[in-house]
Amino acid sequence: MGRLAICPGSFDPVTYGHLDIIQRGAKVFDHLVVAVFNNQSKSPLFTVEERMELLKKATADMPNVSVDSHSGLLVDYAREKKAEAIVRGLRAVSDFEYELQITSMNRKLNEDVETFFIMTNNQYSFLSSSMVKEVAKYQANVSDLVPKVVEEALQKKYR
Ligand code: COD
């Protein structure tokens, strides 16, 4: 079966920043499961099903990547999947404290799963789903920031 890692997130919607992390994570692990969670502190634009659909299309050319969702705790999901690692991306310093909190909590809940961080590609260091949504809402061009399927889905939402 090989080494399995989970790349968790809200992915509301998936951006080129996420895809960069997913692609690089998939090079290191035998299998990478991208798992969509509902982050309680964010009110989502896309449903979990819509977010999964967009992720599936955006990762269709990555053979060792699959897409799933879970509504409970990340560490329980990791245990269930027998994952060895959680993969997260780091952008600016501002991400650090948040990630440190999540990682510390997750480690307290499940000592067996290790979290790995991948530094953002400079090109995407200021890219976030919330900024993409903000910009798309005012009909600005987001084609450099998200795949075509996501661009179209955003246009539909904000029409
Ligand atoms: N460049 C590099 N990395 C990026 C970029 C970019 N431009 N944009 C995003 N990323 C990274 C993020 O740093 C993150 O690692 C990943 O991509 C996903 O990002 P988001 O914003 O979609 O995901 P989050 O931060 O909302 O995900 C939060 C979780 C869903 C992981 C969290 O809420 C969670 O674990 N929920 C389940 C409940 C739980 O277990 N809670 C206890 C832990 S606190």
DSSP 53-85: HHHHHHTTT-TTEEEEE-SS-HHHHHHHTT-SE
Q: What does the alpha-carbon distance between residue 152 and residue 53 come to, in Å, rounded to a whole number?
A: 13
pTM (predicted TM-score): 0.96
State the pLDDT at residue 105. 95
Residue 159 scores a pLDDT above 90: no
Query: How far is the centre of ligand 1, averaged over its atoms, from the C-alpha of 96 (Å)?
Result: 12
Share of the chain above pLDDT 70, in %: 99
| pLDDT tens digits, one per residue of 127-139 | 999 999 999 999 9
Helices (H) and strands (E) in the chain, counts: 6, 5
Q: Which atom of ligand 1 is nearest to the CA of 73?
A: 40
State the pLDDT at residue 115. 96
Residue 21 scores a pLDDT above 80: yes
Tell me if residue 35 falls in helix, strand or coil: strand
137 is catalytic: no
Residues with CB under 6 A from ligand 1: 8-11, 17-18, 21, 37, 39, 73-74, 88-89, 91, 95, 102, 105-106, 120, 124, 127-129
State the pLDDT at residue 73. 95
Query: How far is the centre of ligand 1, averaged over its atoms, from the C-alpha of 148 (Å)?
Result: 22
How far does the chain reach from its first CA to its final CA, in angstroms? 44
**Rounded average pLDDT over 71-91:** 96
Residue 13 scores a pLDDT above 80: yes
Report the residue among 100, 102, 122 best suited for mutation to probe ligand 1: largest number of ligand atoms under 8 A from its CB.
102
**Which residues does 50 contact at the CB level (< 8 Å), separation at least 6?**
13, 153
